[in-house]
Structure 1
């Protein structure tokens, strides 16, 4: 099936690696970028590809509400949405919260409440969680706490809030569709892809699932993983990933087959309470 994807943050490094992979699958991509100066760079990514590439110039900083996001979704009419935007540390704490939390949540809510959209994938990071998972070592937890509370506290607060809204609303829609008798393979998929420290290395294998949080991962591998997760039936939930030895395609299929979701260990009721306030 030829899917239509809205890629938010299309000029980002991961997105530029991802765009040709999506187009190579004969999917249509609308790459949302913030300025006209970026357009030529994005258009080059579509050359010689079977899929159709459109460029939408619209800054995520202008998205202040679910209604603002809905206008863009109504214009593009995607069936899948990928969030790969971020403040990137520029503009201080207010800009990080405005983009990585508020705009991300606005698109999340609008997408999940649009019946024609079947998948929403956000690119988060591996330490974006409030509780210590059972498979992390003491050193893992100490490192995550240092990153989240000392090194990147604003980014952490923004990302974990957006992840939790996605998790809560995706489950609500999934459960509602189950009650309506919709087959599981046709129900909504909310996905938080959670890489470690990003590098410029060539793509390779992965560790994926219930893994340590200590490690790096190539942006090329992350782009490959996004494409594979999107095309794999039943892939949903939190997907932690680092560089490793397993083939990306095999790793994703294994997670789906075994029902692995790295959200395990989080307090869903607390998540739900927090999400209701955003």
Structure 2
């Protein structure tokens, strides 16, 4: 049986590319653009539950983002759908679009230059940084809660592409532990997102940059190596956010 996917922010270019890739796999894709909901006004899990009840998805992708109103969209709307999705037994995967700088601590693998780039990104876009970070941590906490309560299997995926370009995709990336700032094509981002969703063993944070490893191989390497960009963060503190 092919999965049913709710794609939030279906009008963005990367969302259109994902839609094409998912439809080619015969997945049933419902776009929030078609359903005509205003994500900026989505402030509660109850509202998100109404959308899920209508869409009846197996997977949810939150690809929405707002440079001008990140707390309403990137944080509040995202958290509403995260809460509703983890509470719905039929939803087995949630993919959230974040960015490499969405973390509190210096990544253990960063060089001094990369750490300086992280600080620069954080200081240049403080609201986006805070909004994405809060949503990222909330998804971790909710996923852990569902597991501890013995709920159905659930894959919480934070895909964290660096600055995206409209260049032609290369089919080669660096996935997992990467830098703090760089570039990656939207076409390759879409391919990685669908690739992660197509497997039943993907979960965690995945930083994404242009690289020299074929996408399918990069995903396999990340999974087999248990590579998770959340390394260095305080997961125990995140889980206490729901207390």
TM-score between the two structures when normalised by the length of structure 1: 0.84
Deviations 1:90-124 (A, max 9, x none): 3xxxx221111111000001101111100000011
User: 1:128, CA displacement in angstroms?
Assistant: 0.6
Report if aligned partners of 1:232, 1:253 keep a CA contact under 8 Å in 2: no
Partner of 2:159: 193
1:72 aligns with 2:51: yes
CA distance in 1, matches of 2:63, 2:35: 15
Are 1:267 and 2:234 counterparts? yes
Higher relative contact order (CA 8 A, sep 6+): 2
Count of matched residue pairs: 242
Deviation digits for residues 23-62 of structure 1 (CA, Å, limit 9, x no counterpart): 00000000112xxxxxxxxxxxxxxxxxxxxx21111122
Whole-angstrom CA distance in 2 between matches of 1:26 and 1:68: 29
Matching residue within 84, 89, 92 for 1:118: 92
Rounded Cα–Cα distance in structure 1 between residues aligned with 2:15 and 2:50: 22
Conservation of the 8 A alpha-carbon contact between 2:98 and 2:160 = yes
CA distance in 2 between partners of 1:170 and 1:250 (Å):
26
Q: Which has the larger radius of gyration?
A: 1
Deviations 1:208-243 (A, max 9, x none): 111222311001100000110000220110011100
**Cα RMSD after superposing both structures:** 1.4
Q: Which runs of 5+ in 1 are unaligned?
A: 34-54
Report Cα offsets for 1:69-93 as digits up to 9, x if no partner: 0110011100100000011x23xxx
**CA distance in 1 between partners of 2:126 and 2:13 (Å):** 23
1:106 aligns with 2:80: yes
In structure 1, the partner of 2:38 is: 59
Do 1:210 and 1:240's aligned partners in 2 also have CA atoms closer than 8 Å? yes
Aligned residues of 1:134 and 1:265 also touching (Cα < 8 A): yes
- Any conservation in 1 of the 2:144–2:239 contact (CA below 8 Å)? no
Structure 2 stretches of 5 or more lacking a match?
A: none
Match of 1:146 in 2: 120
Question: 1:99 & 1:211 partners in 2: Cα distance?
Answer: 26
